[in-house]
Structure 1
Amino acid sequence: MARGSDESVNGSWKKQVDDIRKIFEFKEILGTGAFSEVVLAQEKATGEMYAVKCIPKKALRGKESGIENEIAVLRKVKHENIVALEDIYESPSHLYLIMQLVSGGELFDRIVERGFYTEQDASALIKQVVDAVNYLHTLGIVHRDLKPENLLYYNPHEESKIMISDFGLSKMEGAANDIMSTACGTPGYVAPEVLAQKPYSKAVDCWSIGVIAYILLCGYPPFYDENDSKLFEQILRAEYEFDSPYWDDISDSAKDFIRNLMQKDPEKRFTCEEALRHPWIAGDTALCKNIHESVSRQMKKNFAKAKWRQAFNATAVIRHMKRLQLGSSMDSSQRRKQNPTSMPGKSQSVDVSSVHRSDCSSMQAANSSSKTPERHTRPSTVTTIITGSK
């Protein structure tokens, strides 16, 4: 399939088609979202496998600018660590985004499955993410929803690269007066200035990378509270700690790297370029001690795998690859003082300005056991909502 086809329909980059199934054989649903579903599909002419995002046009009414923005961003980017948009088709009833297929599974799942995991591994993972986000920033693109669920392994191979996905909330910087101000993202990963509903910039992505790096080194999030209001207050104050004993064996260099990214003042926060130059990324300060047991234990406790998938069901992909015998063809803080609490299996992107604090209690769920510290579960199926145009 020729990526970035130059066929233009009514001024947009789409190919008209009456029935997409004449071109692709749909295999199975990989995941569903609020307004679309993602299907594993094989191109009949080439035998190549893709992930096809199927969007009913009736679901787009009033939201056309959002999908147009996502397409504009995806058409502009081409990076080895970013899931590619291969083509776009339009039928009378649907819009189809033909996406590069990634089948290696989610970041945390793969780490838990490993038997050996070190700071050096975490550094190598974060370097790929920072490099890709730096590329986006040089193009004037802000992702705005960086989180572990949007970091996928390209294939099941042990040395697989990481891919950034889901550009539904991304924003292309425009004119000087086009200031981003929409409060959007995922609670727990959004920067303080977003929650404060202040104008913000590319620095919000750097904050999110800091949060991800923090989790990669201890297995639990820097901010958590059963009550959304208190969670937001923690983030607004940039209130987090490197708790003992979970951080006792982590290098000072790693902590310095995180502090510079999770800097409350966006003007003082590391840019991606600065992050790439930090010794923990560019030097040899990341330790090689095996921290897998501690980190994986906390990840399993705080990020338990849910029964549903928001975007790509990697297990379904791998199963189907094997069925088609194509598997080998794919390219080779009080909360934690005693014990970190549990987090959701998935965290959904939301317009954080739309979460009324008085409504938060109705969305909470808690569970406990007789012999273990109380464990809380945050809501995992909040619908994506975007308001405003910035």
Structure 2
Amino acid sequence: MKPLRIKHPNIVSLEDIYESSTHLYLVMQLVSGGELFDRIVDKGFYTEKDASMLIQQILDAVTYLHELGIVHRDLKPENLLYYSVDEDSKIMISDFGLSKIEGAGSVMSTACGTPGYVAPEVLAQKPYSKAVDCWSIGVISYILLCGYPPFYDENDAKLFEQILKAEYEFDSPYWDDISESAKDFIQHLMEKDPNKRYTCDQALQHPWIAGDTALDKNIHESVSAQIKKNFAKSKWKQAFNATAVIRHMRKLQLGTSQEGSVQNTPTSPCHGTLLVPGGDSKNGSPCEECSLPSPHSPVQTEQNLLTNHSHSCHYSNRV
């Protein structure tokens, strides 16, 4: 098996492979700077400009992937790691366990990703393209500027409905001090129609990224408070395959799949050609009790429709 060598300054690289009769050992680049949310919370000063610089690095890396025909399919904050503990450390994209190489004539239709970050066309069970990564970058940008997800509800059915309709708002007071340019940038990426959605190249040309419209006002207090309230570490460890979600979406009549059978999310990082592997299980990790309050009202613990576990962590359960 010949690995596909991915070399980019903002992507965790696969350095080497060793194979025995029973095991395949993957040697990954050392990334020691910690997770994105932890760094933001620990900062004493954080601005739109900081968020813009982070998103620019992500866009550069995803542009590189898309040029290679690779779709990540699971971009989210917990897959963004800092290279080192240095104050000016670069951000790195990790966890390619759900990534897919676009082949000639091939069509992606497997439901995978993380509900809070997955594009509407994936939930609608329509064929999709690399535009799903651009949607996810829009969701990440939204969170980086307010500290909470654009889609939230106690009920999974309503959560899916919001995403399918691309229903989100820039709530007051959380967005009162955020520039119109930032909101415009997000709206172009979180566009329901993938054909109208910004590509990575277009996003890189937006004035919020390439210009000087990102504000220098300190928004750390508000953003970090919401991150601590809405994203606890225990919520980042949930992993589920696509089958359960499709089953429940059919029950909820939220999908219109034409496929005769449902594929499981691949549990191997290889997908035929070896990419940079992910860091967590893709076939289900132990569930932990958690709750996820929205910026408006607390979310009560309920029966999660995606699994048989009882918790209300909608935003980080992997589909």
> What band does the TM-score fall into relative to the shorter chain?
0.7 to 0.9
Q: TM-score, normalised by structure 1?
A: 0.65
Tell whether 2:57 aligns with 1:128. yes
Q: CA deviation at 1:275?
A: 0.1
Q: Which residue number corresponds to residue 222 of structure 1?
A: 150
Shift of 1:227: 1.7
Provide, for residues 118-147 of structure 1, a one-character-per-residue CA deviation record: whole Å limited to 9, x for no partner.
Answer: 000000000000010011011111000000
Map 1:89-168 → 2, pairs under 5 A: 89-168=18-97
Give the equivalent residue in structure 1 for 2:248: 356
Unmatched runs of 5 consecutive residues or more in structure 1: 1-11, 14-71, 307-343, 386-390
Q: Take 1:182 and 1:154, find their aligned partners in 2: how far apart are those partners?
A: 31
- In structure 2, do the counterparts of structure 1 residues 346 and 224 end up closer, same or farther at CA, with 3 Å as the change threshold? farther
Q: How many Å separate the matches in 1 of 2:29 and 2:86?
A: 17
The DSSP-based 3-state class of the residue aligned with 1:76 is: coil
Q: Distance in 2 between matches of 1:103 and 1:219?
A: 23
CA distance in 2, matches of 1:349, 1:366: 16
Partner of 1:200 in structure 2?
Answer: 128
Q: Tell me, in whole angstroms, the C-alpha distance in 2 between the residues paired with 1:382 and 1:181.
A: 21
Whether 1:280 aligns to 2:280 is no
Shift of 1:374: 2.6
CA distance in 1, matches of 2:192, 2:317: 28
TM-score by length of 2: 0.79
Higher strand share: 1
Query: What's the CA shift string for 1:326-375, capped at 9, x where partnerless?
Result: xxxxxxxxxxxxxxxxxx3445464274452569xxx9967699xx9534
Equivalent residue, structure 1, for 2:182: 254
Judge conservation of contact 1:149–1:346 (CA < 8 Å) in 2.
no
Structural mapping, 1:1-390, within 5 Å: 12-13=1-2, 72=3, 75-176=4-105, 178-306=106-234, 344-346=235-237, 348=239, 350-351=241-242, 353-354=245-246, 356=248, 373-376=297-300, 378-379=312-313
1:119·1:289 contact (CA, 8 Å) conserved in 2?
A: yes
For residue 133 of structure 1, what is the amino acid of its counterpart? V
Structure 2 residues without counterparts, runs of 5 or longer: 253-286, 301-310
What is the distance in 2 between the residues matched to 1:382 and 1:122?
Answer: 21
Give CA-to-partner distance per residue, 1:198-224, whole Å, 9 cap, x none.
000010000000000000000000001
The number of equivalent residue pairs is: 271
Pair 199,116 (structure 1): closer, same or farther in 2 beyond 3 Å: same
Structure 2: how far apart are the matches of 1:349 and 1:222?
Answer: 21
**Which letter does structure 1 place at the counterpart of 2:183?**
K
Q: Which amino acid aligns with 1:236?
A: L
Q: Report the Cα offset of residue 252 of structure 1.
A: 0.1
Paired residues of 1:112 and 1:296 also in contact (CA < 8 A): yes
- Conserved? CA contact 1:144–1:184, under 8 Å: yes
Q: Describe the SS at the equivalent of 1:356.
A: helix
Change (3 A) 1:129 1:300: same
Q: For 1:374, give the aligned amino acid.
A: P
Assess if the C-alpha contact under 8 Å between 1:186 and 1:349 holds in 2. Answer: no
What is the deviation of 1:380?
8.1
> In the alignment, is the contact (CA less than 8 A) between 2:191 and 2:197 conserved in 1?
yes
Sort the Cα spacing of 1:98 and 1:368 in 2 relative to 1 into closer, same or farther, 3 A: closer
Are the aligned partners of 1:127 and 1:281 in contact in 2 as well (CA < 8 Å)? yes
Distance 2:317 2:131 in 1: 25
Q: Is the 8 A contact 1:114 1:292 kept in 2?
A: yes
Q: After superposition, what is the alpha-carbon deviation per residue over 1:76-104, rounded to whole angstroms, capped at 9, x for unaligned?
A: 31100000000111112211111001010
Quick one: percent identity of the two aligned structures? Answer: 71
Q: Provide the rounded CA distance (Å) in 1 between the counterparts of 2:6 and 2:161.
A: 35
CA distance in 1, matches of 2:237, 2:17: 28
Contact 2:114 2:317 in 1 (8 A): no
CA, structure 1 residues 189+121, in 2 after alignment: closer, same or farther (shift >3 Å)? same
CA distance in 2, matches of 1:282, 1:90: 44
Given that residues 291 and 313 in structure 2 are in contact (C-alpha distance below 8 angstroms), is that contact kept between their aligned partners in structure 1?
Answer: no
Q: CA deviation at 1:109?
A: 0.7
Relative to structure 1, the CA distance from residue 223 to residue 384 in structure 2 (aligned partners, 3 Å threshold; closer, same or farther) is: closer
CA distance in 2: counterparts of 1:76 and 1:345, whole angstroms: 28
Q: What is the CA–CA distance in structure 2 between the aligned matches of 1:244 and 1:383, rounded to whole Å?
A: 27
Q: Which residue of 1 aligns with 2:270?
A: none
